[in-house]
A and B are shown apart, each in its own frame.
Chain A
Amino acid sequence: MEQKKLAIIATKGTLDWAYPPFILGSTAAALGYDVEIFFTFYGLQLLKKDLDLKVSPLGNPGMPMPMGMDKWFPVLGTALPGMEAMMTMMMKQKMASKGVASVEELRELSQEAEVRFIACQMTVDLFDMDHNQFIDGIEYAGAARFFEFGGEADICMYM
C-alpha cells in the first residue's frame, strides 16, 4: 500500500495555534504518513530557536478564562496591560498540569518522526528574518515547493 501523505500549512504564531500543526503532524507520522508542514507568515514563529509564543484573550471570546475572569474583565478588560503575559503564564501552567507536552517537545518529536518543515523564504525576507534565528533541519523554499508535495497529498490542512 502506498504511503499516505499529509500536507499542513501553518500560518499562525500564537501559543494556542502552535499546537495543532505539531500534534497532527507528529501523530500522522506515527501512523505511517509522509508529512510536510509549510510555515508561512506568522507560522514562521513556530520554527524559531527561542520560542516566545503568547496567547491573548483579546478578541478571543472562545478562550476559557480561569476563576470566572471573563465576567470581571469583559472585552475591554482583556486589553489591560499585563493581561497577555498573565494569560500566557496561566495557559502554560494549565497545559503542564494536564500532561500536555510543550511546543518545543512536540516540535522535536515531529522532527524525530521525520516530519519535514518547509519555511516560506518569501516571508523570511518580508520580515527581515535571519536563518540563524531558526532551528536546524528546515528547508527554505517557496509556494511552488509546497505544491510539489501538497498536490499529491491525501489530506491538506490549513491552520
Chain B
Amino acid sequence: MADYDQELDASGLNCPLPILRAKKTLGAMEAGKVLHIIATDPGSVKDFEAFAKQTGNELMESKEEGGKFHFLIKKA
C-alpha cells in the first residue's frame, strides 16, 4: 500500500458511519494529502467509489486484505 498522511480506522462501523467519518477527517486535511481508511463493512467498497466520484476526492486504491477493506483517498 502506498504512503499516506493520516489513518482512519472505521472497523466495526456500518453504513453510513465510515463515509461520515471519512468526510470529517478529510475536512481537516490539506488538499493533496492522502487518507488511509480501514473498514469492515463490505458495503463500503461501493460507497467509497461513489463518495470519490461525487466529491471529487481521488480514490487511489481500494483493496481487501484479511477480511478488512483498505482505501486510499487523496483530498481534492
Chain A residues within CB distance 8 Å of chain B:
23, 26-27, 30-32, 98-101, 106, 109, 112-113
Contact = CB atoms under 8 A, between A and B. Distances in A.
Contacts of B14: 98-101
Contact of A99 (B19, B20, B41): B41
* Size bracket, chain B contacts: 10 to 19
Contacts, number: 37
Contacts of A26: 16, 20
Question: Do most interface residues of chain B lie in helix, strand or loop, or is the interface mixed?
Answer: helix
Contact of A23 (B12, B15, B40, B41): B15
Contacts of A101: 13-14, 17
A45 B15 CA distance: 23
B63 interface: no
Nearest to B47: A27
B20 A30 contact: yes
B13 A27 contact: no
A30 B16 contact: yes
A32 B16 CA distance: 14
Nearest to A25: B16
Contacts of B23: 30, 113
Given A27-B19, A109-B20, A99 B54 contact: no
A99 B12 contact: yes
Given A30-B23, A99-B41, A113-B23, A23 B54 contact: no
B51 A99 contact: no
Nearest to B15: A23
Nearest to B53: A31
